[in-house]
Structures are given as C-alpha cells and as structure tokens.
Amino acid sequence: MPLEEKVEYYQTQCPGSQICLIAEFENTVIGADNLGKLGKRAEDVGKEAAIEFLKEAKSEACLDKQQASQILPYLALNKNKSSFTVSEVTGHCKTNVWITEKFIKGKFTIQNNLILWNPF
C-alpha cells in the first residue's frame, strides 16, 4: 500500500507539545493523538501516540474509539438499521448511546466491539 507522509509544524507561544496521527484508508479514517505537559519529553508524547495509533490500526475496526461516540447521533438519524465496529467501546461512547436514545426513537445494541442501531 502506498504511504504518503505529511508533517506539519506550527510555531506557538508556549513550550508544550502535541501530536496527531491520522491514517486515511479506502473506506475509513483512524487516528490517535497525545498532548504533552510540563516535564514530559516530546519523544514520549510521540511514542505514546504511536503506540495508541498502532493499537487502533491493528484492531481492524471501522472506527477508532474517539470516532464511535461522535458518529452515534448521525447514525441514529438514519431510518435504516446500521452497524459498525469500533476498536474500543469507551465510557463516553456508552454515555452518548444513552443520551442519543433519549432524543431519537430507536435502540443501540453493543455486542463486544460491534454497535448496532435499530430505529423504531
């Protein structure tokens, strides 16, 4: 698979560091990021982001753990049954399932790392 690398650096007024890794595939996009803090080496910030990114990529899920909670309201607006796999079902995702079901008629079902939407 061809790899296209894009590195962007931004000059800031603070000494902190942040990294965001994104991979675009044929049918999805996954990512991972990490934020530095005082006393944390930039190399460690990058290493932690890379480890998280590889974990996401190796899961072979359709969405990474951050995307799952973000897509739920849009998925619920769909009038058809839908499903997707996610690398990890986070607490934030479970909360968003609960909240979305309060506003839109339907039911989410979580089976391991598969999230299903069934509209009423």
pLDDT at 4 over 80: no
19-34 pLDDT, tens per residue?
A: 999 998 888 899 999 9
- Does residue 87 belong to any structural domain of this protein? yes
For residue 4, is it within any domain? no
Q: Whole-prediction pTM value?
A: 0.78
**77 and 100 inside one domain:** yes
> 13 in a domain, yes or no?
no
Q: How many domains does the chain have?
A: 2
Say if residue 74 is in the same domain as residue 32: no
Do 69 and 113 lie in a common domain? Answer: yes
- Asked if residue 37 belongs to a domain, the reply is yes
Q: Which of 41, 59, 77 is the last residue of a domain?
A: 59
Q: What share of the chain is helix, strand, coil (3-state, %, to 5)?
A: 35, 25, 40
Considering the domain architecture, whether residues 72 and 114 belong to the same structural domain is answered as: yes
In this structure, is residue 33 part of a structural domain? yes
Residue range 34-61, pLDDT digits in tens: 999 989 999 999 999 999 999 999 998 9
- Cα separation, 21 vs 59, in Å, equals 16
Residue 9 lies in a domain: no
Q: Give the pLDDT of residue 10.
A: 80
pLDDT by residue (tens digit) across 92-104?
Answer: 999 999 999 999 9
Number of residues written out for the chain: 120
Residue 8 domain-assigned?
no
Q: Is position 11 within any domain?
A: no
Confidence of residue 1 (pLDDT cuts 50, 70, 90): low
Residues 78 and 109 in one domain: yes
Q: CA 63, CA 37: separation in Å to the nearest integer?
A: 28
Domain of 97?
65-119
Which positions are annotated as active-site residues? 92
Confidence grade of residue 76 (pLDDT, cut at 50, 70, 90) = very high
Burial 102-120 (b: 16+ CB within 10 A, else e): eebebebeeeebebebeee
pLDDT of 15 reads 78
